Structure formats: C-alpha cells, structure tokens
Amino acid sequence: MTVLLFDIDNTLLDFDKAEYDALEKIFAHYQIEDNQENRATYSRENKALWRLHESEKLSREELLSTRFDHAFRALNVSVNYNPVAVDDEYQLYLSQGHELINHANELLTELSAKEAEMYVVSNGTSRVSRPRIFESGISDHFREIFISEEVGHHKPSLAFFDYVFDHIEAANKKEFTIVGDSLATDILVGIELELKQSGTTPNNWK
C-alpha cells in the first residue's frame, strides 16, 4: 500500500499567487505603495515570526495578531489600523486563492486511479486552508486533511506527525512518503521519521 502525505502550499496550491493577490488588496486598503521592496519587508517580518512559531517560541495567536503590526511599523504606515482586523481581512483574501500548481490535479487523479492512499499535512489555519483545498476541486482525492491549527501542533514537530500516524488506520511508517516543497518542514522531518521523501519543483509538476 502506498500512503502519501501531501503538503499543500506551493506543492499542490500556488500559495505565492494567493499571497500576492491578498497583499495587493491589503496594500491598497491601507494606502501602502505596492512595490517589490514593500512586499519584501512584509515577507521578512512574516517569515521571522513563522520561524519563531515553528520552533515553538511564539504561539499561533501571537503570530497572527502581531504580524501586521510588525510589518506596518517596518513600512511606516501612517493610517490608523487594528493589526488583528488587518490579519482577519488578509486571511479572508488569502482563503480565496485556490489556483493549482501546474499539473497538480492530473497527478492526484493518476495517483487516485492507482489507489494510492493520500492525506493532507499542512501548516496553516482552518479558515484559510480548508476553503482553498475545497474550492480548488482536489479535496475528494484525500482521505483526511490534517491542518496544524486543528491538530494543535505545527509541522515539523514530531507531535504533529504522531497525531497524523495515530489517526491513520494500520499506519506503518515504512509505507509513507511525505511530499512537499520545504526542506525544513517536509524533507528533513521525513528523514528524521525514516519516511520516504519526495521534493517538488516549485510551481510545476511534470
């Protein structure tokens, strides 16, 4: 039996485009010039907080409630804003981005035809991840969807994967392959757990 654990962002769904479109709307709303430098500033601040969260030094709630405060301060935003409200708005826009990576649907269809047992293992929030997965049309390929917010642990923590293994019947780790684009949260944890790994080429399945 082949058991595949699929990451979602930039593995099956184009997160970069979803983020680009969401930031475009946020920048317009809060009168921020939309240019490469300002996008890079947001990305730097956001990624720094996500790294703290992945190392369990920052809670998800703290991350989501403060990331736009960090970013807007770095961007010298002058209009009034509530960082929690900004993040709520951003996550709404992000949840609407469900464009697939090239050939992702064909890959999943082919694997389903071969009776592969497939699951989603993804970092993120329910209100963003689930709409993107369902609206993209790929949800029927998966037996179960494991999202870090719902699991209560973040990839690449072992607690996250322990939860996944506990919820897959007759789980034998030797039968698992983890598929993702991230060296830290997909490939290296696969090595640590003695799983097979399959790295992806960003934005394209060939």
Read off the pLDDT of residues 131-171 as tens digits, 9 standing for 90 and up.
999 999 999 999 999 999 999 988 888 899 899 989 997 66
For residue 178, what pLDDT is reported? 84
Domain 16-95 bears CATH identifier 3.40.1110.10:
no
pLDDT band at 196 (very low <50, low <70, confident <90, very high): low
Contacts of 98 by beta carbon, 8 Å cutoff, 6+ apart: 13, 18, 131, 132, 133, 135, 136
Q: Which of 41, 114, 33 is nearest to 74 (CA)?
A: 41
Domain ranges of the chain: 3-14+100-199, 16-95
Q: What is the rounded average pLDDT for all residues in the chain? A: 88
105-125 pLDDT, tens digit each: 999 999 999 999 999 999 889
A 10 A CB-CB count for 69 gives: 17
- The answer to whether the CB of 55 falls within 8 A of the CB of 38 is no
- pLDDT above 90: residue 202: no
Active site residue 88: no
pTM score:
0.86
pLDDT band at 184 (very low <50, low <70, confident <90, very high): low
For residue 170, what pLDDT is reported? 63
pLDDT band at 92 (very low <50, low <70, confident <90, very high): very high
18-67 pLDDT, tens digit each: 999 999 999 999 999 999 999 999 999 999 998 898 788 999 899 999 99
For residue 189, what pLDDT is reported? 58
CATH number (3.10.310.30, 3.40.50.1000, 3.40.50.2300, 3.30.720.210) of 3-14+100-199 reads 3.40.50.1000
Identified catalytic residue from 7, 14, 87, 186:
7
A 10 A CB-CB count for 196 gives: 17
Contacts of 57 by beta carbon, 8 Å cutoff, 6+ apart: none
Cα–Cα distance for residue pair 176/197, rounded to 1 Å: 9
- pLDDT above 80: residue 90: yes
